[in-house]
Structure 1
């Protein structure tokens, strides 16, 4: 999406931090990652799990934008991410977790897509991604685009789950 903004293909887009230099971006949401395990996993009964306890667990890494945030989070707690598989497709990720091939972490915004036989568990410390509303730097926005941007930003809560 950042490329489309830079090329002028789109006027507004939602981007994940870190934001590119060619975009002006207003942070609007902090999206917390959740641990996903099969319902038969030992951790499935837990309400939350310390991130460092995932060292050594077979980990299925989503290559769809999650990798930098997750690798940084593991480094911060001196934990080793034991990546056994890398996937790009969400359905594949869910199927591999269901089959017991490993655990993974996904952003909370994706939890509505998680099958009922997988358990989502909070991790501590919280691992979050920041999402912002972006437009190309130095570009004069048309009146309809300005109105859309203002409408979106008005709907953003000033407290709670914002960045």
Structure 2
């Protein structure tokens, strides 16, 4: 298979349409169809399911996807290496991030990095822990922000300790000034995010046998805070989620110290492209400097 064939395959996957893939690659739809048909003939199996709703991978295509993505990544890494040898700093870095890390850190990281490396493009992919993990495994992103509990078998470097706190409606009074006890939390009604959205908070809830949400299946932080603001209950969440954002809620420390460890994750550090290595170093150095300033 040629590099163009790999590009066609990935464009069809991303666009879920031969017509849209043709537009992205500046080819005709018939050229896309011919390329896909040639791939399927060469491989001896169908890669895509064609339907009125769109074009989707077969199970066989799904199995091949990460390998074809790695071929494309290898070509990108090669071009970056050639540019670096020629004295140019260029390339593409794709970063996966969960919501609160994106809101709190990405603007300043992007501004600083682009100032030093204006010819390196940064693509941001935002999703849940599960999304970022799978994007890394499939080669969709090069680097990812995750919690240590969700990094699985990925290589990673710890960069930040984020406290778990209680968020309560405005005017909420605790039995003890300045903190809330576990026993008091057990008496509360909770707003919780659905399973898989915040593994660290779920771990704390299970650890102390705290009551579940009782009908709330929230998928994002801001919706959970909005329900708390409306008096629907209290919630536990990482401090990073609401830092520097003036919500009309009470932010209350727990009597016990619980934290999530945020990590910078990647599949293998020894195969990172030159541009990715520079971004990795920039992120790690930025957080090291941040930690030193906070001491």
TM superposition score normalised by structure 2: 0.48
Q: Which has the higher helix share?
A: 2
- State the match for 2:152 in structure 1: 20
Supply the distance in 2 between the matched residues of 1:112 and 1:44 (Cα, whole angstroms): 24
Higher relative contact order (CA 8 A, sep 6+): 1
1:65 aligns with 2:197: yes
Supply the distance in 1 between the matched residues of 2:272 and 2:225 (Cα, whole angstroms): 40
The alignment covers a number of residue pairs equal to: 159
Q: Retained in 1: the 8 A contact 2:169–2:229? A: yes
Structure 2: gaps spanning 5 or more residues = 1-131
- State the match for 2:112 in structure 1: none
- State the match for 1:48 in structure 2: 179
Supply the distance in 1 between the matched residues of 2:175 and 2:275 (Cα, whole angstroms): 47
Post-superposition shift, 1:16?
A: 1.1
Structure 1: gaps spanning 5 or more residues = none
Supply the distance in 2 between the matched residues of 1:44 and 1:117 (Cα, whole angstroms): 20
Supply the distance in 2 between the matched residues of 1:142 and 1:42 (Cα, whole angstroms): 52
- State the match for 2:253 in structure 1: 122
Post-superposition shift, 1:44?
A: 9.7
Post-superposition shift, 1:15?
A: 1.2
Pick from 258, 264, 268: which aligns with 1:133? Answer: 264
Q: Retained in 1: the 8 A contact 2:221–2:241? A: no
TM superposition score normalised by structure 1: 0.82
CA 1:5–1:116 in structure 2 vs 1: closer, same or farther (change >3 Å)? closer
Q: Which has the higher strand share?
A: 1
Post-superposition shift, 1:86?
A: 2.9
